[in-house]
Chains A and B, each alone.
Chain A
Amino acid sequence: MKDSKESFAYTPGLKVTPCTYIRRIRSLPLKGEILVKKGENVNFDTTVATCCIEGAPYIVKIAELLDVDPEETVRYILKKEGENVSKGELLARNTSLFGLINKKVTAEVNGVIERINEITGHLTIREPPKNVEVKAYIKGKVDDVIPNEAAVIGTYAAFIQGIIGFSGERFGKLKMAVSNPEQVLDADMITENDAGKIIVGGSLVTYEALEKARKIKVNGIVVGGARMEDLESILKTRIGVAITGREDIDFTLILTEGFGKLPMSENTFRILKENEGRIAAINGTTQVRAGVLRPEIIIPLEVSERARREKELEEGKMKVGSIVRIIRFPYFGAVGKVIELPIELNKIETESLVRVVRIELLDGRKVLVPRANVEIVAD
């Protein structure tokens, strides 16, 4: 039999690195104009692209409102297709019985008459187009431009992926509100001075802290875990599938470990601490499906900082000696060293036959866990 210690395993895990080169494609939703050139320096809030999105249609049921047959509606409409209308302007009138019946329809929105439908008796006003601006999101250099579609921004940065986030892109100065990864982020750790900042907590953020963060207008919170019921109270909605990013809250929240009280991984905490005071871009958008999208914290680094060893982002290959972290109960968060990677399937406690890894935990215990339940911390 082949030496089982030679077995390798692919473990996706979350990317956490002190320095790497990050590229972000800043795409327009429709074709439009790219406002930056290749090689140009951009800041977090630089507008890099813009386009016009067609306004919303507003259907007015003229026939119903004037109480006439749909085919006759056109006789009562005072406007033509293509004409501009303003809110309050008269659109149609039905006067009959020597003025005894006098029904009017006025526009409820500004826009252009796009269509008068003689079959349904409806008139459609198209509201004015809206201008959409796409920001750089990260501070860096324009690496590439895709004409009319996108700009690619690149930078050297410390890069951390969380496990799930809420709300979209924001940026702000990083502030450590706790001294260790186990500490709970409570309301009294957030002060008026934290407005616009990104606050880093430890194992849990309390409901009161989330409320205070909103009141004070912090831009983001990065923390190990949060209780589901607190999150649902803050988000005012129930979470069913892990597709997030559009939540209407005033700050971006990123959980690095998961739901409940879960100490932030040492590695993540250390990188955040090393970069305290720097400006970070964060995005809570998460999609746990094919083409997985995880929330991210990007901390662009100055030139002098890049001297540190650059760590390439690559998919982890677990091997004997790798330092891993268990990501499922009952050992959630436990860190240990891989001591064996058996090739054959093994029976775990639940009697499931799975590919496993034997780990020596920091406290000396040796445990056998499914390979699917670990992530690599270091090689």
Chain B
Amino acid sequence: MEPKFILATDVGSTTTKARFFGKIRDEWKFLSSGEAPTTVEKPVEDVTMGIRNAVREVEELTGHKIIDYECEELRFLMPHKGENTGIDVYVSTSSAGGGLQMLVQGVVKSITAESAQRAALGAGAIVMDVLSVDDGRDTYEKISALRFLRPDIVLLAGGIDGGTKSHVLEMTEILAMAKPRPRFEIEFLLPVVYAGNKDAREDVKKTLCENFDVRITDNLRPMLEVEKVEPARDAILGLFMEHVMAHAPGYEKLKKLVSTNIMPTPAAEGMMVRKFSELKCVNSIGVGLGGATTNVYSYFDGRFLRTVSANLGMSYSVGNVLKEANIKNVKKWTPFQISEEEVMGIVYNKMIRPTTIPMTFEDLVIEHALARESIRMAFNHHKYLARELKGVKKERTISDIFEEVKTEDTYLDVYRINYIIGTGGLLSRAPRRSQSMMMLTDAFQPVGFTSLAQDSVFMMPHLGVLSTIHPEIALHIFEKECLIYLGTLIAGAGISKPGAKVADITIEYENGKKDNFELLFSKIVKVEIPYEKTVNVKVYPSSEFNFGAGFGRNVEKTVRGGVVGLVFDGRGRPIHIPEDEKERFNTILDWYSSMNLYPKEKIEEWRSQL
């Protein structure tokens, strides 16, 4: 029987978010949301308490009875009775207590360790460390790193099937000797998923069985040219439910309530990006800009990849964003004088008081600059893992992962990204939608024609887990209620002099009307066209610019508008930001003005200070 009312929760590291959906007049609608602090730690060590509080808020706002108050333990009234009582489906995701934290071990850093990392990230894990024989650390350093980590699960891989066993057994031995302890309890054995050379399975079991709970899965690199991460990923997700969730306070009760398995938040969030892309047959990039982590998802030519950049986020981890990005890269997005000390003051005080909100535009501009940098670095991390399989790789260090990844190294072709979807508190709360569109554009710098959208009120994880049992309902709500279509970005790669022609543009409207204009270098032109309208756009680029068909080659496409509209980006790729400070301020203020990013008076005030 098709459900009528659905409740979904995400037990986040700080807040538990409830979302309530219902079928009203034959159409699925998002009805209400409720939020409450997560109760995974003292004094209330029971996640169901936070869920109860969040759902109670939904009840108060809608008048719909969901909780069975006759039971002391949290129970929901299921199935629904009439229009105002009960639900039919309850699903949940969780990143409570810092999410799923994993340790990854492989033999060769750029081969098995990299594949293992992809498998762990694919399961929605935060990867605490990646160890390999060739990671540049001495054995004692590896042991010492392991001894102080408290992972939820270890993924051990290495060697192709039938190949040499000694290296993977060396890594096994290091793990056995270091005996890292599990995060939650002293008493239970730390789970280890072994996905390496199948000939070494018995030796691995023998070495680890005394102190670890060993699970064997298929080798994730059975041959050098083959990567098979799904069995390892599934084993990790199984263990997440069985071990990690089971040892978190209150999860035993929660497990009894849900209609399907609880999923790690990033796994569910990514699933929605994947399902949407599969359904639409498009290449998409998704980003979840959180307080502690930034998650990036890509679905490209049928390949799906999910990465979680731990310690890149907009509140708890914002100090790290500044540290990794470098203060100059943050300041380059600001159109006013601000000292490094002032920037540090804003950033680090936000880190220690993460729930506070910017009260001035200057403060807001700094937060938006940090968001661009956080996404840019997380995308680089993502591109680092979105690479073709290779047997032999050049040496890289861990710190390289936030560096720019050369275009030829990644299979993510910026010319062929059809959709960019953003989610997370900062994007959802941006006072103007044009600010979200600009942040996503500047961070990803897509080329050609790209549609941009954002999650309206953070419900992608909820819909992701729902999609495992009711994919049609989840996709319907995702498209109709969750996504806000910001608009279409039309941008060319290339560089020129400010004021030089980038392209001639023609927009043909449905009513036959035509608009022609010249797109100049370093300028942005925004045309307000709502989502319901489609227009035909013809681009005649100058020889220095490529809009997807090649340098100087014309492109024509029919595109939709959005709440922001069509944005023609003549800033080149990579985006040209002048070195001279005054010129930079003026250029950025022109962009702000074209995008209607901040109030006119404020932009004029900044301009008058130049």
Interface membership of A190, Cβ < 8 A: no
Contact B319 A329 (CB under 8 A): no
Selected from A229, A240, A328, the residue in CB contact (under 8 A) with B356 is: A328
Cβ proximity bits B220-240 to A, threshold 8 Å, 1 near / 0 not? 000000000000000000000
Contact B311 A241 (CB under 8 A): yes
Interface membership of A342, Cβ < 8 A: no
Residue on B with the closest CB to A25? B42
Selected from A58, A228, A331, the residue in CB contact (under 8 A) with B348 is: A228
Residue on A with the closest CB to B174? A59
Residues of A within 8 A of B13 (CB): 289-290
Residues of A within 8 A of B203 (CB): 119
Residues of B within 8 A of A373 (CB): 356-357, 359
With contacts A290-B40, A373-B356 taken as known, whether A58 is within 8 angstroms of B140 at the C-beta atoms is: yes
| Most chain B beta carbons < 10 A, residue from A12, A164, A259, A372 | A259
How many angstroms between the C-alpha atoms of A372 and B14 in the bound complex?
A: 15
Contact A329 B361 (CB under 8 A): no
Contact A59 B357 (CB under 8 A): no
Interface membership of B320, Cβ < 8 A: yes
Contact B349 A348 (CB under 8 A): no
Interface membership of B540, Cβ < 8 A: no
Selected from B317, B341, B356, the residue in CB contact (under 8 A) with A327 is: B356
Interface membership of B354, Cβ < 8 A: yes
Closest approach, in angstroms, between the C-beta of B322 and any C-beta of chain A? Answer: 8
How many angstroms between the C-alpha atoms of A122 and B599 in the bound complex?
A: 68
| Most chain B beta carbons < 10 A, residue from A115, A239, A350 | A350
With contacts A57-B177, A122-B173, A242-B316 taken as known, whether A288 is within 8 angstroms of B143 at the C-beta atoms is: no
Residue on A with the closest CB to B15? A290
Interface residues of B in 325-380 (CB under 8 A from A): 341, 344-346, 348-349, 351-361, 363-364
Contact A291 B357 (CB under 8 A): no
Cβ proximity bits B183-198 to A, threshold 8 Å, 1 near / 0 not? 0001000000000000
Residues of B within 8 A of A353 (CB): 431
Chain B contributes a number of interface residues (CB within 8 A of A) equal to: 58
Closest approach, in angstroms, between the C-beta of B204 and any C-beta of chain A? Answer: 10
Residues of B within 8 A of A114 (CB): 177
Residues of A within 8 A of B170 (CB): 120, 122
Selected from B319, B345, B431, the residue in CB contact (under 8 A) with A239 is: B319
Residues of B within 8 A of A290 (CB): 13-14, 38, 40-41, 96-98
Contact A117 B431 (CB under 8 A): no
How many angstroms between the C-alpha atoms of A70 and B357 in the bound complex?
A: 61
Residue on A with the closest CB to B320? A240
Contact B358 A117 (CB under 8 A): no
Residues of A within 8 A of B166 (CB): 70, 119-120
Residues of B within 8 A of A228 (CB): 341, 344-345, 348
Residues of A within 8 A of B147 (CB): 56
Interface residues of B in 37-67 (CB under 8 A from A): 38, 40-42
Selected from A31, A227, A259, A348, the residue in CB contact (under 8 A) with B186 is: A31
Cβ proximity bits B297-329 to A, threshold 8 Å, 1 near / 0 not? 000000000000001000011011001100000
Residues of A within 8 A of B38 (CB): 290
Cβ proximity bits A60-81 to B, threshold 8 Å, 1 near / 0 not? 0100000000100000000000
Interface membership of B432, Cβ < 8 A: yes
Closest approach, in angstroms, between the C-beta of A258 and any C-beta of chain B? Answer: 5
Interface membership of B165, Cβ < 8 A: yes
Interface membership of B169, Cβ < 8 A: yes
Contact A288 B354 (CB under 8 A): yes
Residues of B within 8 A of A31 (CB): 186
Interface membership of B84, Cβ < 8 A: no
Interface membership of A128, Cβ < 8 A: no
Residue on A with the closest CB to B144? A56
How many angstroms between the C-alpha atoms of A122 and B142 in the bound complex?
A: 15
Residue on B with the closest CB to A351? B431
Contact A258 B357 (CB under 8 A): no
With contacts A59-B174, A370-B356 taken as known, whether A241 is within 8 angstroms of B317 at the C-beta atoms is: yes
Interface membership of B178, Cβ < 8 A: yes
Contact A260 B359 (CB under 8 A): no
Interface membership of B100, Cβ < 8 A: no
Contact B177 A289 (CB under 8 A): no
Residue on A with the closest CB to B206? A119
Interface membership of A267, Cβ < 8 A: no
Interface residues of A in 320-355 (CB under 8 A from B): 327-332, 348-354
Contact A119 B169 (CB under 8 A): yes
Interface membership of A84, Cβ < 8 A: no
Interface membership of B292, Cβ < 8 A: yes
Residues of A within 8 A of B599 (CB): 351
Closest approach, in angstroms, between the C-beta of B309 and any C-beta of chain A? Answer: 12
Residue on A with the closest CB to B38? A290
Residue on B with the closest CB to A28? B186
| Most chain B beta carbons < 10 A, residue from A56, A58, A240, A327 | A240
Closest approach, in angstroms, between the C-beta of A241 and any C-beta of chain B? Answer: 5
Residues of A within 8 A of B259 (CB): none
Contact B359 A291 (CB under 8 A): no
Residues of B within 8 A of A286 (CB): 352
Residues of B within 8 A of A379 (CB): none
Selected from B143, B316, B348, B429, the residue in CB contact (under 8 A) with A59 is: B143
Residue on B with the closest CB to A260? B345
Interface residues of A in 61-107 (CB under 8 A from B): 61, 70
Closest approach, in angstroms, between the C-beta of B15 and any C-beta of chain A? Answer: 9
Selected from B98, B140, B352, B359, the residue in CB contact (under 8 A) with A164 is: B352
Interface residues of A in 132-179 (CB under 8 A from B): 163-164
Cβ proximity bits A21-35 to B, threshold 8 Å, 1 near / 0 not? 000000000110000
Interface membership of A309, Cβ < 8 A: no
Closest approach, in angstroms, between the C-beta of B14 and any C-beta of chain A? Answer: 5
Residues of A within 8 A of B207 (CB): 117
With contacts A239-B319, A260-B349, A351-B432 taken as known, whether A328 is within 8 angstroms of B357 at the C-beta atoms is: yes
Interface membership of B80, Cβ < 8 A: no
Apart from A115-B177, A119-B203, A372-B357, 12 more pairs, CB < 8 Å: A115-B173, A115-B176, A120-B170, A228-B344, A240-B317, A241-B320, A288-B352, A289-B98, A290-B98, A329-B346, A354-B357, A370-B357
Which residues of B are interface residues toward A (Cβ below 8 A)? 13-14, 38, 40-42, 96-98, 139-140, 143-144, 147, 165-166, 169-170, 173-174, 176-179, 186, 203, 207, 292, 311, 316-317, 319-320, 323-324, 341, 344-346, 348-349, 351-361, 363-364, 429, 431-432, 599
The 10 A-B pairs at the shortest CB distance, nearest first, are namely: A240-B320, A291-B41, A57-B177, A351-B431, A259-B348, A370-B357, A328-B356, A260-B345, A258-B349, A240-B323
Q: List 13 A-B contacts (CB under 8 A).
A: A56-B140, A59-B173, A228-B345, A241-B317, A260-B344, A289-B14, A329-B345, A348-B357, A349-B359, A352-B357, A370-B357, A370-B359, A373-B357
